[in-house]
Amino acid sequence: MKEINEENLEEGDLFEGDIVGLIRGAAQKPTKTRGLWPNGIIPYEIDPIFPPASRDIILAGQKMIENATRINGSDCIKFISRTNEDTYIRVINGSGCWSYVGKKMTKGAQDLSLRSPGCMKNAIAAHEFMHAMGFWHEQSRPDRDNYIKVIYENIKLEKIGNFKKYQIDKVDYLNQLYDYDSVMHYEPKAFTSNGLPTIVPKEINAKIGQRTHLSQIDIAEIRALYNCK
């Protein structure tokens, strides 16, 4: 089966390719203040334009998060079909795979795009929902140079800004170690200009950029951020 190239489905002018609400190169920065969904309950609507198979994949991405983070039968995160909730995620068949980070709206719809069929993979949906829950990309951690090497000469010139590190006082990684296995990590050839790797793990045999599951650290971070016990 051909692997989905998520990079080709990201928006050129979005922060790090798939984050809405920040401008690459501007003074805005990721912050420790992440808008959380109260009690881990996330109302959503799915645009009826999606075919049934795509809708099933979107729901499976939600279930991936719910099932992985449940503790002793109690939900940590719960996606609920919107009835009359004022603020909710609206999943649209937009121009690529992208989301805001955290709950940004005080009232109304917060769009999250999963283009069909390009973005239709369970863990790609989970990746974007994790952005909406408040999570940033793993490879932009302030300590990332201890774990990966960024090969700048292989990056498309206009995409180099996607590889900036976050400032240490601007982000909170919830006392978790760097996670090569995170569903929030870029793949080795993300935004390559020549087909060669743009990110090389310093740990021998480490794999990065998987889009099949939540890692154990992804799960621990969700539970920590949403105070699930």
Q: What is the CATH number of domain 1-19+33-134?
A: 3.40.390.10
Q: Where are the alpha helices (DSSP H) in 35-193?
A: 52-69, 122-133
pLDDT digit string, tens, across residues 106-155: 899 999 999 999 999 999 999 999 999 999 899 999 999 999 999 999 99
- Sequence ranges of the chain with CATH classification 3.40.390.10: 1-19+33-134, 135-228
Q: Give the CA count within 13 Å in the CB-facing half-sphere of 13.
A: 3
pLDDT tens digits, residue range 91-112? 999 989 999 999 998 899 999 9
Name the pTM for this structure.
Answer: 0.88
Mean pLDDT of all residues in 11-15: 47
135-228: CATH topology is: Collagenase (Catalytic Domain) (3.40.390)
- Answer yes or no: are the C-beta atoms of 124 and 107 closer than 8 Å: no
Q: How far apart are CA 218 and CA 36, in angstroms?
A: 16
Q: Is 128 a catalytic residue?
A: yes
| Confidence at 34, pLDDT banded by 50, 70, 90 | low
Which listed residue (7, 10, 16, 128) is catalytic?
Answer: 128
Which residue ranges make up the annotated binding site for Zn(2+)? 127, 131, 137
Q: Which residues are annotated as a binding site?
A: 127, 131, 137
Which pLDDT tens digit goes with each residue over 191-212? 999 999 999 999 999 999 999 9
Residue 200: CB atoms within 10 A of its CB come to 14
